[in-house]
Structure 1
Amino acid sequence: MQVLYKSTRGKEETVTASMAILKGLSEDGGLFVPTEIPKLDVPMDELAKMSYQETAYEVMKCFLTDFTEEELKNCINNAYDEKFDTKEIAPLHEADGAYFLELYHGATIAFKDMALSILPHLMTTAAKKNQVKNEIVILTATSGDTGKAAMAGFADVPGTKIIVFYPKHGVSPIQEKQMVTQKGNNTYVVGITGNFDDAQTAVKKMFNDKELEAELDAAGYQFSSANSINIGRLVPQIVYYVYAYASLVRQGKIKDGQEINVVVPTGNFGNILAAYYAKQMGLPVHKLICASNDNKVLYDFFRTGTYDRKRDFILTTSPSMDILISSNLERLIYRIAGGDAKKCAELMQSLTAGGEYTITEDMKAQLADFYGNYCTEDETAKTIAEIFKDSHYVIDTHTAVAAGVYDKYVKDTNDTTPTVIASTASPYKFTRSVMEALGADTDGKDDFALADELSALSGVKLPQAVETIRTAPVLHNRVVDAPDMPKAVKDILGIR
């Protein structure tokens, strides 16, 4: 069965998977969604025997139907190799009454590696399939992790350039150091004097700027995206939920067909949307638990049915979730609107123009799969300390938001279904916050000294990703105001 893709906002035409990956965003500003979500066509007892790479093929072939078996397997094998520090790629760690799905064993120690290791291979394969002559310019806004993971994936990939914008004062010191020391003749990093939403909004605007598109085309370039708005980011994320379930079956922790809960710390809604798609494919998922930090726009949405971004933007110790405009939620809105692109476009227009939208009661009724809650900064720190005390297991601030929300969910519902918590970043990426939560004295110490202390305390070896940047020279120091982002892009590409 061929799966095609169409826009959430009304362009009736469908495109192939490879074309959706190349475009990143539809011309009408909508996101590409599959015309139908395919079912998993391999029995779980077979999946339970498979490696991560084999599981990835079985899941991704259902969505990327215009890629040949050879093309897709080649992309997978190039992505999930020795860049990851464990053969399992995404191991499960049992602690504190849940299963932590460790998604941070890749080159940049965050879950974005899971999709961004394969996206460059999918994209260059898609470009060949569609006879693309232009050089592809990956344009990305990051709240901390996407930028580094995308650059690591695209560095020196022929036929591509990558430009990453990040909030200059809205990421952790380790995150910033990872980005500004990135090597690669085709990589560019720009700090902006604003927050992530400013960067994301400006990037989306550039994608829809026809004049800029024509200027790029004349210079031999075309934009594509490595943000989670790209369907080529979302499909690989479905894989690890299927793999986690199969791993639990293989380990005898659950029986085939038994339901699990999934908890995801989320800001942009992509990672939890992938879990929702896995459920739609037939994975036995009971509840999708959406964990927010103090920027609790998603919690409020699930509680009230109103999405309202008109609030203060709060900088927290879980900066990758400091987001008020959750781009991927649009894909869920489209689905619960029954595939009504006109309705979806109206709601998104309402968000752009007035800063909020409210879904209908019928749409709200379809959110029964979800539970939303949030953790304050104090609760996040307390969760890190408690899990270390109880299980001698160190988690980062984002994972702690998820674990804290899971605790609230159990208290609210008494639901004891086996639960997988998406552990989205290594604690070494947010060392200062983690060490402060563990009661360490951090005064006057840099993040690398604290990383050494954390390693001694936890007995977990310092990841190579941290060692590498410790003494790496800064290669990128450009900073601009958000309105000047298009000018920065043209400067980088030499377009006058």
Structure 2
Amino acid sequence: MQYLSTRDFGKKVSAAQAIAQGICQDGGLFVPQEIPKLSSHDLEQMQKCSYVERAQKVLSLFLTDFSEKEIADCVQAAYTEKKFPGGPAQLSALQEQDCSMYLLELWHGPTCAFKDMALQVLPHLLTKSCQKIHTDKTAVILVATSGDTGKAALEGFKDVPGTKILVFYPQNGVSPMQKRQMVTQEGENVAVCAIEGNFDDAQTGVKKIFINTDMCQKLAKNGMMFSSANSINLGRLLPQIIYYISAYCDLMVNGKIQDRQEVNVAVPTGNFGNILAAYYAKQMGLPIKKLICASNANNVLTEFLRTGCYNRNRAFYTTISPSMDILISSNLERMLSTLTGSDEQVKNWMQELSQTGTYQVNDDVMQKLKNIFWAGFCDDQKTKEEIHTLYQEENYLCDPHTAVAVNVYKQYVSKTGDASTPTIIASTASPYKFADSVLQAIGGSAASDDDFAKIQELATVTGTPIPQPIQALRSKTVRFANCCRPDEMFSKTLKLIGADS
């Protein structure tokens, strides 16, 4: 299996090279030369397997330059009971409005967000990839985060030999608890910096740094090389495919669906990585009927999937679901590459996006998108109402991102009448990471502005336990108070990684 640049199919690399490099030098993203297939027999056999065994099977189809033992070592180190108490991908069933909803809880890991599912295994994949390409350079993991990726990446790469990690986050664009998780991060090889801007500013800055020739030369001079922990990195994207396949197997094991029965998958998304992983699972042969793309008020993806016009020239909203506050959805480029089979067309669209902020796909691509996706969005008020409804009617407490997905799924049912298809809804974060918003939604009110008081109030009102990783933050010391403008990210990067000499 080789991997190509979305903007130049003539450039082919191994999986190890793609993971180590992170992003293509031409600015494109690595995509598999072909999507491997899972047979009915494979799915039947995987029902009998643990999550770790399913992960080994799926990754082995994509990482053909890794040995069976190397893949096993990576996933066994990542998905332990200690890191994921009770299991890494737990299902909770809801039966509201005669719909069969299964919330795929992906947040039972070290940072209480779905990003742990990939970012606990990525450091192992990366270090083995560096060994395979015979480099002794220190891998500098450069990350832009809208909230959850930053902490999950910091925790995953903390004190990993041969790596350094630097995370940029929008100063006023993450929840208080997300910020607290990052600025108190432990580890000798980590650094965190806020930027005066939004996530798109951070992501654009990081992409420019990756492909800047002078920057790369300075790193090489200091024995370093760039890599990424964002979903632009292949090693971050591929592990996300696993949990959709695993959830389907679990539903079959539990008798909730029959063999080869179709399901829908609803995903709250901003950067399009998580739902792209579901699309890859569908391409592999998982019987997915519709991929339901759920956006918040920053509904650039909803408009695109409905009209074929991508237009980031719009108001940017800071919402209560901050991990989705994104107007430039990087992984959409991978989707377009698969649908068109054309590097030239994708390159032209990305150039249009960079130069004008917009592009329009052709009728053929538009029809393919409509066949695969259904898209909707909801604002903060609807999000809070959904949190309230789920708590009152189902006694289920969810975070604002999951609530967006549930709300959009209900819109889908209302518009299409498709209430009978079992639907897997990606639940992406613990409600305790957004205690203030969740508390307001269910009708509680904290006695003070202290974030930990709000967390305690949420636990008291709902009778639900505070996750240990959140509880532990109270006693941690703030280590990072850096902040810079987007145009200062180059110099700040060199300083914080120690390559400014």
Check whether TM > 0.5. yes
Match of 1:50 in 2: 49
Match of 2:139 in 1: 136
1:419 to 419, 423, 431: 423
- Residues 149-183 of structure 1 show CA distances to partners (whole Å, capped at 9, x for unaligned) of 00000000000000000001110000000000000
Equivalent residue, structure 2, for 1:275: 278
1:430 to 2:428 alignment? no
- In the alignment, is the contact (CA less than 8 A) between 2:77 and 2:121 conserved in 1? yes
- Pick from 211, 215, 230: which aligns with 1:212? 215
Paired position in structure 2 for 1:93: 92
Instruction: Give me the whole-angstrom Cα distance separating, in 2, the residues matched to 1:109 and 1:387.
Output: 20
Q: 1:31 maps to what in 2?
A: 29
Return 93-102 or 105-114, whichever deviates more.
93-102
Indicate the residue corresponding to 1:360 in structure 2: 362
Please say if residues 293 and 374 of structure 1, whose CA atoms lie closer than 8 Å, have aligned partners that are also in contact. yes
Structure 1 counterpart of 2:172, from 153, 169, 174: 169
1:17 Cα deviation (Å)?
Answer: 0.6
- CA–CA separation in structure 1 for the residues paired with 2:450 and 2:278: 37
Q: Aligned AA for 2:316?
A: F
Alignment equivalent of 1:10, drawn from 8, 11, 15: 8
- Distance, in Å, in 1 between the alignment partners of 2:91 and 2:342 is 38
Judge conservation of contact 1:99–1:420 (CA < 8 Å) in 2. Answer: yes
Write out per-residue CA displacement over residues 61-90 of structure 1, whole angstroms, 9 at most, x where no aligned residue. Answer: 101111100000000011001343434211
Q: Is the 8 A contact 1:40 1:62 kept in 2?
A: no
The alpha carbon displacement at 1:460 in A equals 2.2
Deviation at 1:383, TM superposition (A): 0.3
* 3-state SS of 1:422 partner: strand
Match of 1:439 in 2: 443
Match of 1:340 in 2: 342
After superposition, what is the alpha-carbon deviation per residue over 1:209-232, rounded to whole angstroms, capped at 9, x for unaligned?
011101110111110000000010
Following superposition of structure 1 onto structure 2, how do residues 117-156 of structure 1 map, counting pairs within 5 Å? 117-156=120-159
Partners of 2:492 and 2:9 lie apart in 1 by 31
- Among 344, 349, 352, which residue is 1:350 paired with? 352
Cα offsets for 1:314-362 (capped at 9, x unmatched): 000000000000000000111111x200100000000000000000001
**Where in structure 2 are the equivalents of 1:323-472 lying within 5 Å?**
323-337=326-340, 339-367=341-369, 368-415=371-418, 416-442=420-446, 444-472=448-476
Answer whether contact 2:448 2:454 (CA < 8 A) is retained. no
CA distance in 2, matches of 1:141, 1:281: 29
In the alignment, the residues of structure 1 paired with residue 132 and residue 462 of structure 2 have an alpha-carbon distance, to the nearest angstrom, of: 48
The answer as to whether partners of 2:166 and 2:497 remain within 8 angstroms in 1 is no
* Other structure's SS at 1:294 match: coil
2:81 touches 2:87 (CA, 8 Å); kept in 1?
no
| Most deviating of 34-43 and 250-259 | 34-43
Secondary structure at 1:33's aligned position in 2? Answer: strand
Question: 1:470 & 1:87 partners in 2: Cα distance?
Answer: 24
Q: Secondary structure at the match of 2:11?
A: coil
2:482 aligned partner:
478
Q: How many angstroms apart in 2 are the aligned matches of 1:456 and 1:422? A: 26
Q: Aligned equivalents of 1:143 and 1:346: distance in 2? A: 27
CA RMSD after TM alignment: 1.0
Question: In the alignment, is the contact (CA less than 8 A) between 1:150 and 1:226 conserved in 2?
Answer: yes
Distance 1:318 1:270 in 2: 16
Query: Which amino acid counterpart does residue 483 of structure 1 have in structure 2?
Result: D
Secondary structure in 1 aligned to 2:270? coil
Counterparts of 1:402 and 1:109 in 2: how far apart (Å)? 18
Q: Is the 8 A contact 2:444 2:458 kept in 1?
A: no
- Tell me, in whole angstroms, the C-alpha distance in 1 between the residues paired with 2:464 and 2:49: 28
SS in 2 for 1:92: strand
> Normalising by structure 2, what TM-score?
0.97
Shift of 1:190: 0.2
Provide the rounded CA distance (Å) in 2 between the counterparts of 1:302 and 1:83. 40
Bigger Cα displacement from structure 2, 477-486 vs 436-445 = 436-445
Match of 2:300 among 297, 301, 306: 297
Contact 2:268–2:405, Cα closer than 8 Å, also in 1: yes
- CA–CA separation in structure 2 for the residues paired with 1:25 and 1:52: 28
Structure 1 runs of 4+ with >6 Å offset: none
SS state at 1:460 partner: coil
Unaligned 5+ segments in structure 1 are none
CA distance in 1, matches of 2:433, 2:452: 10
* Matches of 2:43 and 2:9, distance apart in 1: 37
User: What are the Cα deviations for residues 11-41 of structure 1, in whole angstroms up to 9, with x where unaligned?
Assistant: 5121111110001001110000000000025
Q: Percent of aligned pairs with the same residue? A: 51
Amino acid at match of 1:91: Q
Stretch moving more, 244-253 or 82-91: 82-91
- How far off its partner does 1:452 sit? 1.5
How many angstroms does 1:447 deviate by?
Answer: 2.0
2:358 is aligned with what amino acid? E
Shift of 1:443: 5.7
Segment of structure 1 superposing worse, 280-289 or 36-45? 36-45
Displacement of 1:139 after TM fit?
0.3
Kept in 2: contact 1:171–1:320 (CA 8 A):
yes
- Distance in structure 1 (CA, Å) of the matches to 2:251 and 2:58: 17
Cα distance per residue 1:281-307 (max 9 Å; x no partner): 000000000000000000000111000
Q: Does the 8 Å contact 1:291/1:299 carry over to 2? A: yes
- Letter in structure 2 aligned against 1:231: L
| Residue 232 (structure 1) aligns with | 235
Q: Which amino acid aligns with 1:62?
A: L
Structure 2 letter corresponding to 1:191: A
Displacement of 1:118 after TM fit?
0.3
Checking the alignment, whether the CA contact within 8 Å between 1:11 and 1:28 is kept in structure 2 is: no
Question: Hey, what's the Cα distance between the residues in 2 that align with 1:471 and 1:184?
Answer: 16
Give ranges in structure 2 of 5+ residues lacking alignment: none
**Where does residue 20 of structure 2 map in the other structure?**
22
Aligned residues: 493
